Amino acid sequence: MTHPTRRSVLTGTVAIGATALASIGRQPPAHAAAPLTGKQAPGWYRYKVGSFEITAVTDGNRPTPLPDNIVKNASKSEVVAAVASTMPGVDKEKPPFPFTPVVVNTGQKLVAIDTGFGPATFEQSKGAIGQYQSNLAAAGIDPKTVDVVIISHFHGDHIGGLIGADSKPLFPNAEIMVPKAEWDYWMDEGNASRAPEGLVKSTHANSRRVFGALGNKVTQYESNKEVVPGITAVFTPGHTLGHTSHIVASGSDRVLIQADVTAGLGLVFARYPGWHVAADMDGPLAEQSRRKLYDMAVAEKMPVHGYHFPFPALGHLDKDGNGYRLTPVFWNTAL
Amino acid sequence: MTHPTRRSVLTGTVAIGATALASIGRQPPAHAAAPLTGKQAPGWYRYKVGSFEITAVTDGNRPTPLPDNIVKNASKSEVVAAVASTMPGVDKEKPPFPFTPVVVNTGQKLVAIDTGFGPATFEQSKGAIGQYQSNLAAAGIDPKTVDVVIISHFHGDHIGGLIGADSKPLFPNAEIMVPKAEWDYWMDEGNASRAPEGLVKSTHANSRRVFGALGNKVTQYESNKEVVPGITAVFTPGHTLGHTSHIVASGSDRVLIQADVTAGLGLVFARYPGWHVAADMDGPLAEQSRRKLYDMAVAEKMPVHGYHFPFPALGHLDKDGNGYRLTPVFWNTAL
């Protein structure tokens, strides 16, 4: 994972001289080495918020060559430098973009918030993404028992997992709830016809594909209300025009599920909240939502789940200069 | 997980006014909520170093009320403040102490480095610790296939897992390799008879219990040499007098397995490397080893696995003022 010189290792840190290896007891047994496994642990992590159980269930990471124009108001070399300092150990020119939805069990309702790219992308990406359904199964969650799916916004990495490669619903018993402002914008034929090439146009088409497969049977919700008991929608527009975050609350405990308030490379863009990412439809509005929400999370010491934070995608934000620094959650080894 | 006021949430961050909830499509189905699971994900994480596979396998976290004298040259209130700033979200008066050994598969040898407290502690701690063997199984590693166990030092959380509650070996086919300087110190009857009450005395007794159960069949190794091909011992005394770290190298990739260069609360004591922790037998020597090793890791950009870092216990160190800051590894969702 790094490239020190052999010399520095051996001369810089070893405090005692080499002497003959003293050996007592039995000889090493002749034993076949166990094979390499090539397998990673299943990608889920669970924590309590009051009496609720929240499970972060990752859809995977996608290594992505940084486009020249990934940030509108910063150069690519500035972004590469920020990746190197914020995500040490990754390929700074082709960093992994992480994708992690959550599932909330309130004890009354089992609620999925966002759904990943969908299982069809697993083979296309050679297993990099499209992991959500298998990680959900590893976490012991049957999608047939999900009562409600709440969508934050209509980008494909959030809605794609509503349906399978066969276009059948993956949450067959769930009410699908979508922000009214997202539905109004994306499903408008005039907006679709005027959409510029690229992410905006493809999101119009993909929204019709996915929701069409569901017969457009969705419940629209508005912000500043509980979407389901214990989960309140918070309007955070800019990334998309109806982009919505959520606060999950049980008793006196809360967590902010931020969706794409920082998009793509959440750790990096939290450090540089003034950067206007190309994927944000309205950069200045996204920045305004971001600073407002993050200042609240810092002031309230509210933990934040970021869809594009590295797994397990949960941490605490601090203000650091003009930006924000995430301290990842201390991993609980038991509930 | 935090305690914001309801008012601040609703007035501070919600950008659009509340209007009537618009709802189209079907009604929510009547559906029994899935039960809460009470279960955490199995505690293992795998990564590649060159052609080697390394698996971090946690023994768990133990919530521990901070003793008044946990640091010899800092007050308890300073330590509590450091816990609060370094480990946000945990109980700062009773933080969880994490314990995470690693297993290295070199392709030729399957090598465990340290072993946790041992399964007997699982019930005693109500599942907080003693998880190593079950997490090893979850990771697909059969302890019967382990060829070598390398011990860093003789504290009970590192050697206890060599034997079961029945005192039988848990790695029945493995060569057990121990630092010669540890063996020389702890197994000396004169040192044992002069040991002060507390950790030093109990470690003398526990070392006799554990290694006695193995018939004292161990191989002693010295530092500045490869212990097994690809794993080099680095002498880092102070925490104990023979405390030893390891560098795992394959091709041009390396990782530093630091053991207890920062002990107990690794993240906190990395930030304050001048603090002399009560568990360090020789505080000034431990500080010297710590600064030397960490300065090397920073200069070489070498990732560091800390036995007492939070799971998955791997990250990159930066110098920050007089101390060091760990950036946890970016979690790979596939190998």
In this predicted structure, the answer to whether residue B26 has a pLDDT above a threshold of 90 is no
Of the residues A2, A142, A218, the best mutation for testing chain B's interface (the one with the most B CB atoms within 10 Å of its CB) is A2
Tell me which residue in B8, B33, B110 faces A110 most closely, judged by beta carbons: B33
Instruction: Give A-chain residues touching B150 at CB under 8 angstroms.
Output: none
Question: What is the rounded distance in angstroms from the CA atom of residue B23 to the CA atom of residue B54?
Answer: 51
Under an 8 A CB cutoff, do A173 and B29 touch? yes
Residue A175 CB neighbour total at 10 angstroms: 23
What three-state secondary structure class fits B276?
Answer: coil
User: A278, A259, A274, A276: which is closest to A321 by C-alpha?
Assistant: A274
Measured in angstroms, the CA of A79 and the nearest CA of chain B are apart by: 17
Average pLDDT value over all residues in chain B: 91
Question: What is the rounded distance in angstroms from the CA atom of residue A72 to the CA atom of residue B182?
Answer: 58
Q: Which helix (H) or strand (E) holds A231?
A: strand A231-235
Cis amide linkage into residue B312, ω under 30° from 0: yes
- Helix (H) and strand (E) counts in chain B: 10, 16
Question: What is the rounded distance in angstroms from the CA atom of residue B238 to the CA atom of residue B14?
Answer: 54
Q: Which pLDDT score is estimated for A3?
A: 43
Q: Which pLDDT score is estimated for A202?
A: 97
| B24-34 b/e (C-beta count within 10 Å ≥ 16 → b) | eeeeeeebeeb
Strand order in the sheet with B219-221: B44-49, B52-57, B102-105, B110-113, B148-150, B175-179, B219-221
Under an 8 A CB cutoff, do B22 and A105 touch? no
Measured in angstroms, the CA of A192 and the nearest CA of chain B are apart by: 21
User: A153, A297, A114: which is closest to B13 by C-alpha?
Assistant: A297
In this predicted structure, the answer to whether residue B331 has a pLDDT above a threshold of 50 is yes
Chain B residue with the nearest C-alpha to that of A50: B1
Under an 8 A CB cutoff, do B225 and A18 touch? yes
Contacts of B55 (CB under 8 A, 6+ apart): B44, B45, B46, B102, B103, B105, B139, B141
Instruction: Give A-chain residues touching B237 at CB under 8 angstroms.
Output: 15
Query: Hey, what are B107's tokens?
Result: 């392709």
In this predicted structure, the answer to whether residue B25 has a pLDDT above a threshold of 50 is no
User: B1, B172, B190: which is closest to B89 by C-alpha?
Assistant: B1
Question: What is the rounded distance in angstroms from the CA atom of residue A31 to the CA atom of residue B255?
Answer: 25
The DSSP line for A61-122 is EEE-PPPTTSBTTS-HHHHHHHHHHHSTTS-TTSPEEEE--EEEE-SS-EEEE---S-THHH
In this structure, which amino acid lies at residue A35?
P
Tell me what the mean pLDDT of segment B170-194 comes to: 98
Question: Which CATH architecture describes the domain B42-328?
Answer: 4-Layer Sandwich (3.60)
Instruction: Express each pLDDT in B94-147 by its tens digit.
Output: 999 999 999 999 999 999 999 999 999 999 999 999 999 999 999 999 999 999
In this predicted structure, the answer to whether residue B17 has a pLDDT above a threshold of 50 is no
Interface check B107 vs A, CB under 8 A: yes
User: A169, A80, A45: which is closest to A118 by C-alpha?
Assistant: A169
Instruction: Give B-chain residues touching A34 at CB under 8 angstroms.
Output: 105, 110, 141-142, 145-146
Q: Which pLDDT score is estimated for B34?
A: 85
Question: What is the rounded distance in angstroms from the CA atom of residue B102 to the CA atom of residue B314?
Answer: 10
The complex's ipTM works out to 0.90
Q: Which pLDDT score is estimated for A133?
A: 98
Interface list for A 16-35 with B (CB within 8 A): 16-29, 31-34
Q: Which pLDDT score is estimated for B202?
A: 97
In this predicted structure, the answer to whether residue B77 has a pLDDT above a threshold of 60 is yes
Q: Which of A285-290's residues contact partners 24+ apart within 8 Å by CB, and which partners? A: A285/A237, A285/A238, A286/A237, A286/A238, A286/A239, A286/A243, A286/A261, A287/A238, A288/A238, A289/A236, A289/A237, A289/A238, A289/A239, A289/A243, A289/A261, A289/B15, A290/A236, A290/A238, A290/A261, A290/A262
Contact B50, B253 (CB under 8 A): yes
Q: Which pLDDT score is estimated for A7?
A: 37
CB pairs A-B closer than 8 Å: 343
Q: Which pLDDT score is estimated for A199?
A: 96
Residue B325 CB neighbour total at 10 angstroms: 17
Under an 8 A CB cutoff, do A303 and B89 touch? yes
Q: Which pLDDT score is estimated for B121?
A: 97
Contact B57, B312 (CB under 8 A): no
In this structure, which amino acid lies at residue A128?
A
Q: Which pLDDT score is estimated for A280?
A: 97
Interface check A39 vs B, CB under 8 A: yes
Q: Which pLDDT score is estimated for A196?
A: 93
Instruction: Express each pLDDT in B200-248 by its tens digit.
Output: 999 999 999 999 999 999 999 999 899 999 999 999 999 999 999 999 9
Under an 8 A CB cutoff, do A147 and B21 touch? no
Q: Which helix (H) or strand (E) holds B219?
A: strand B219-221
Please give the model's pTM, rounded to 2 decimal places. 0.91
Q: Which pLDDT score is estimated for B192?
A: 97
Q: Which pLDDT score is estimated for A34?
A: 85
Place of tokens 């003959």: A20
Cα–Cα separations (whole angstroms), residue A327 to A301, A314, B88, B320? 12, 9, 8, 15
Question: What is the rounded distance in angstroms from the CA atom of residue A161 to the CA atom of residue A156?
Answer: 8
Cis amide linkage into residue A310, ω under 30° from 0: no
Q: Which pLDDT score is estimated for B22?
A: 33
Reported CATH class of domain A43-328: alpha beta
Looking at per-residue pLDDT, the higher value among B19 and B323 belongs to: B323
DSSP state of B163: B
DSSP state of B90: S
Question: What is the rounded distance in angstroms from the CA atom of residue B48 to the CA atom of residue A13?
Answer: 24
User: A192, A220, A219: which is closest to A206 by C-alpha?
Assistant: A192
Going from the first residue of chain A to its last (335 residues), give the mean pLDDT of each consecutive group of 10, the final group possibly shorter: 39 32 40 81 98 98 96 98 97 98 97 97 97 98 98 98 97 98 98 96 98 98 96 98 98 98 97 97 98 98 98 97 97 96
Interface list for B 55-84 with A (CB within 8 A): 58, 60-61
Under an 8 A CB cutoff, do B128 and A329 touch? no
In this predicted structure, the answer to whether residue B20 has a pLDDT above a threshold of 90 is no
Query: Hey, what are A108's tokens?
Result: 């009354």
Instruction: Give A-chain residues touching B14 at CB under 8 angstroms.
Output: 223-224, 234-235
Which runs of E-coded beta strand occur in B58-174? 60-63, 96-99, 102-105, 110-113, 148-150
Contact A63, A96 (CB under 8 A): yes
Contact A44, A55 (CB under 8 A): yes
- A72: buried, middle or exposed (CB in 10 Å: 19+, 13-18, 0-12)? exposed
Residue B183, phi then psi, degrees to nearest 5: -60, -45
| A256-281 b/e (C-beta count within 10 Å ≥ 16 → b) | bbbbbbbbbbbbbbbbbbebbbbbbb
Contact A55, A128 (CB under 8 A): no
- Please give the distance of CA A1 from its chain centroid, rounded to a whole number: 24
Instruction: Give A-chain residues touching B333 at CB under 8 angstroms.
Output: 40, 43, 58, 60-61, 98, 128, 131, 311
Under an 8 A CB cutoff, do A22 and B180 touch? yes
Contacts of B82 (CB under 8 A, 6+ apart): B268, B271, B272
